[in-house]
Amino acid sequence: MTTAEFVHVTYLAHGKPGTDWLKKANGIAVGLTVGSWTDLPAARKDAMQKHLGHVADVKQIGTDPHGLEQAMLTIAYPTINFTPDIPALLTSVFGKLSMDGMIRLVDIELPPTFASRFPGPKFGIDGLREQLNAYDRPLLMSIFKSVIGYDTETLAEHFYQQALGGVDLVKDDEIFFDETYAPFEKRIAACRAAAERAQAETGKFTLYAANLTGPVTEIFEKARRAVDAGASALLLNVLTYGYDVLQRLAEDPRVNVPIMAHPALAGALYPSHQYGISAHVVLGQLMRIAGADIGLYPSAYGSVALERGETLKIAQALTEPNHVLKRAIPVPSAGIHPGLVPYLYRDLGNDQIINAGGGVHGHPGGSAAGGRAFNAAIAAVVNGKTLSEAAETSQEIRTALDLWGNPSETGTEK
């Protein structure tokens, strides 16, 4: 006989002064599981007991500027009510509830046996490092500057320039949907050839995360064909396709390449304080459960910024020890230039990907020089040197710091 297991979900709720929060929490626990309880005949209650949710915790935490009371409600939902997939989980614990007043989902905790029925990352941080033969340092990724309307040959040449700069990975832009000019498998094969050409010069192989798109009815077979065509990684817009697409890709043994989860549309869910779902749930917990090896999210320092505490919670959700799920690698993104590397390193250390688009391509020496500037910055922080020190021996980093600044040494507040 197995012991009952529960998914614990925590909500931040706002309500009128004097709200009976325990009653509210009980209403959720019963309403979202067996529906109603008091109406049930006694004999039926015995059979339904194992399906019944219960209140695990209720904390009144304060009052907001508008005089509304705030409470944290933690509900325990029996795992036997769910199938092990994110649509079941999210529909059950925040489907109807999301529309029922001022309520925000702020944490989901799966018990180990239930978590083990999800794939989690197929490669994780360790597997990715093995593929790249890159240890004891942050990894480096660059993003195609522009993709719409470019043909395969031009993109492969762009890839080659980026790979020459010594980046570990190159990713497609997430808005790459129309493949008329550069069909998916052709593009993958061409970029792989470019990776090998660069490797002959640099000794380093560069992964290419191609944007996996198309109808969900075809996307799994397309992913397998991509692998056959030489794909070394795949990019997925998880939130517009649904977490279940990620999960089934992660479960597919033939899709034996790392999967990179793009955060597109996440900002439609997380920024409000009263509604929606916390960023670390959307981009951390659920991405890892469903099988992202690599998780992108807005950094605290760039052009599309997220509050620092929240970025740390996302990274924690992706990487904290877990008995059944591998660790996914965090990628704080958007508007990153070499001068920001010390902040990123202070926050996350080695287990992250430093990711840049304009910060690579906008380098006055070109994309390859841009990559080398980042690698110089990474080598500096790993070896306990400042970027100024690195600039004494690297022209590329000096140029980058002159152009974009060196805030960690010039005292600009971050």
Question: Is 369 or 381 the residue whose CB approaches a copy of itself more closely?
Answer: 369
- Of 23, 50, 59, 96, which residue is the catalytic one? 96
Residue 173 found at the interface with Mg ion (CB under 5 A): yes
Cα–Cα distance for residue pair 178/230, rounded to 1 Å: 21
| Amino acid in the structure at residue 321 | P
Residue 34 found at the interface with a copy of itself (CB under 8 A): yes
Residue 254 found at the interface with a copy of itself (CB under 8 A): no
Binding positions for a copy of itself, 132-161, rule CB under 8 A: 145-149
Cα–Cα distance for residue pair 242/177, rounded to 1 Å: 17
Choose which of 217, 253, 323, 411 interacts with a copy of itself (CB under 8 A).
Answer: 217
The residue count for binding Mg ion (CB under 5 A) is 2
Binding positions for a copy of itself, 335-394, rule CB under 8 A: none
Q: Which two tokens stand for residue 342?
A: 């010390």
3-class SS letters over 255-288: CCCCEEEECCCHHHCCCCCCCCECHHHHHHHHHH
Choose which of 276, 291, 339, 370 interacts with a copy of itself (CB under 8 A).
Answer: 276
69-78 and 6-15 strand pairing: antiparallel
Binding positions for a copy of itself, 81-110, rule CB under 8 A: 81-83, 85-88, 90-92, 94-100, 102-103, 105
Question: Is 108 or 331 the residue whose CB approaches Mg ion more closely?
Answer: 331
Cα–Cα distance for residue pair 158/190, rounded to 1 Å: 11
CA distances from 133 to 126, 139, 201, 203, 206 (A): 10, 11, 17, 11, 11
Only one of the segments 38-46, 166-174, 280-288, 293-301 lies at the binding site for Mg ion (rule: CB under 5 A); that segment is 166-174
Residue 64 three-state SS: coil
Least separation in angstroms between CB 2 and a copy of itself: 14
Choose which of 194, 266, 294, 369 interacts with a copy of itself (CB under 8 A).
Answer: 266
Choose which of 5, 126, 173, 409 interacts with a copy of itself (CB under 8 A).
Answer: 173
| Amino acid in the structure at residue 291 | G
Which positions ≥6 away from 175 have C-beta within 8 Å? 147, 148
| Amino acid in the structure at residue 151 | D
The residue count for binding a copy of itself (CB under 8 A) is 74
Question: Is 23 or 51 the residue whose CB approaches a copy of itself more closely?
Answer: 51
Residue nearest to Mg ion (CB): 173
Least separation in angstroms between CB 406 and a copy of itself: 24
Residue 251 found at the interface with Mg ion (CB under 5 A): no
Question: Is 278 or 408 the residue whose CB approaches a copy of itself more closely?
Answer: 278
414 binds, among Mg ion, a copy of itself, none (CB under 5 to 8 A by kind): none
Cα Rg of the chain (Å, integer): 23
Q: Please, what's the b/e burial string for 302-312 (b: 16 or more CB within 10 A of its CB; e: otherwise)?
A: beeebeeebbb
96 classed as catalytic: yes
The residues assigned a catalytic role are 96
